[in-house]
Every structure is written in C-alpha cells, then in structure tokens.
Amino acid sequence: MKLYFSPGACSLSPHIVLKESGLAFEAIAAPTKTHRLADGTDYYTINPLGYVPLLVLDDGRQLREGPAIVQYIADQVPDKQLAPSNGSWERYKLLEWLNTISTELHKGFSPLFTPNMPEQAKDIAKTRLISRLNWVDGELAGKSYLMGDTFSVADAYLFVVAGWGKHVGVDISGMPHLSAFVARVGARPAVQEALRAEGLLK
C-alpha cells in the first residue's frame, strides 16, 4: 500500500491509523502547495483532484477520502479494534463521528486557511467552528475517546483537526475535555511515529 500525504494535513489521520494497524505501507509526500513529489512527478497525474490523502493498494485500486480510507485500514486488522464490526450499532456511531468531524469541523476550518478569505467571513466561520468544538468538548466528558474507552479511527481524525486550531487562532485551552483528549491521543506511540515521519515532531 502507498499513502500519499502532505505534512500536517488531514492525511495525517490515515497515517496515524496505518501506524496503529501495523500494516506495511509506503508513505509518499505530496505537498499540497507544490503538487510535486520528491522525484519531480506531478501529483495531478496520480490523483487528478490534487488533494490528500490518497491510498493506493498493491493492485492499483485507490481510495481518496479520509473517512473511507481509515475504515478500510481498520477492517484489514479487526483484532486491533480500530473500528467496531460492520453492521453493529457502534459502527454507525463511528460513521456519525467521522461525518461530523468531516463536515462540521474539517470543512469548518477551510475558510480560516484560505489566504484571500475576507476577515468578516473568517470571523463567522470561527464563531461557528468554536461552537462545534465546544459541543465536542461536552461529548468527551467522562470518556477517554469518542467511542468510550477504546481508541478508534475517529479519534485519529479528531486529533488532527483539533490540532489545526493553534495555526489559525482557534484556542481550545478552555475546552478541558478536548484538550485532555488531544494530549492523550498525542502521547500514543503510533501517533508519535506518524508525527515524526511527517517532520512534525523532533
């Protein structure tokens, strides 16, 4: 398997999940600013949409959406319990979390990373985003992870997205449960490995 990633982008989520899974894979940097691989290849020739993550299986099949990729990885190693079993109520709750993080949080950050976005639009986006993060903070009360006591692929995604706040002025220090969650997930050995592999941790 090959995972195309850009350091610190949402592709860090499947990078973490791959490290947690123990599966063999090759991580290939595809910087979102240049869209050039280290060997000079134009990334658009590999993924016409130009974004990350992209998972390419050994037989050439591709997955290019993070929530789909992390579930695929989890289902390859069911003993790792990175996702509840298909068809279970808990699996649908996992899907709910992946969708919430994707649409309400991940996309909520997008305007804040857009250089020419008007400040008024950024302020509106930030207010909405903070309200969603406060809600997540409440949902984490009394729990180690989103699904309870067991780390799941949704936790990798939330860890990555919540970490973007420090780059765009979204302060989560007043959200005690979310802050503790980020610290807890960040201390996991597989997470540390992924961060080091992307040059985000010395």
Give the separation between CA 161 and CA 156, rounded to whole angstroms: 9
pTM across the whole model:
0.96
Give the separation between CA 146 and CA 139, rounded to whole angstroms: 8
- Domains in the chain: how many in total? 2
Q: Are 171 and 35 in contact (CB under 8 A)?
A: no
From the list 176, 201, 195, the residue with the least C-alpha distance to 9 is: 195
Is residue 142 domain-resident?
yes
pLDDT average, residue stretch 6-11: 96
Same domain, 47 and 77: yes
Q: Are 182 and 159 in contact (CB under 8 A)?
A: yes
Kindly tell me if the per-residue pLDDT of 202 is higher than 90.
no
From the list 45, 21, 22, the residue with the least C-alpha distance to 4 is: 45
Q: Decide the pairing of beta strands 62-63 and 26-29.
A: unpaired
Same domain, 166 and 104: yes
Of all residues in the chain, the percent with pLDDT exceeding 90 is 98
Give the separation between CA 14 and CA 25, rounded to whole angstroms: 11
CATH number at residue 126: 1.20.1050.10
CATH number at residue 34: 3.40.30.10
Kindly tell me if the per-residue pLDDT of 95 is higher than 80.
yes
Q: Are 145 and 153 in contact (CB under 8 A)?
A: no
Same domain, 101 and 38: no
Q: Are 129 and 102 in contact (CB under 8 A)?
A: no
Report pLDDT digits (tens) over 34-50. 999 999 999 999 999 99
Show the domain range for 7: 2-81+190-197
Give the separation between CA 43 and CA 33, rounded to whole angstroms: 11
Same domain, 97 and 170: yes
Q: Which amino acid is at 50?
A: G
Q: Residue 174's pLDDT is what?
A: 97
pLDDT average, residue stretch 108-127: 95
Is residue 77 domain-resident?
yes
Is residue 202 domain-resident?
no
Query: In what order do the strands lie in the sheet containing 62-63?
Result: 26-29, 2-5, 54-56, 62-63
pLDDT average, residue stretch 109-119: 94
pLDDT average, residue stretch 72-90: 98
Same domain, 71 and 94: no
Q: Decide the pairing of beta strands 26-29 and 2-5.
A: parallel
Report pLDDT digits (tens) over 16-37. 999 999 999 999 999 999 999 9
pLDDT average, residue stretch 112-133: 95
From the list 57, 50, 49, 52, the residue with the least C-alpha distance to 26 is: 57
Same domain, 77 and 93: no
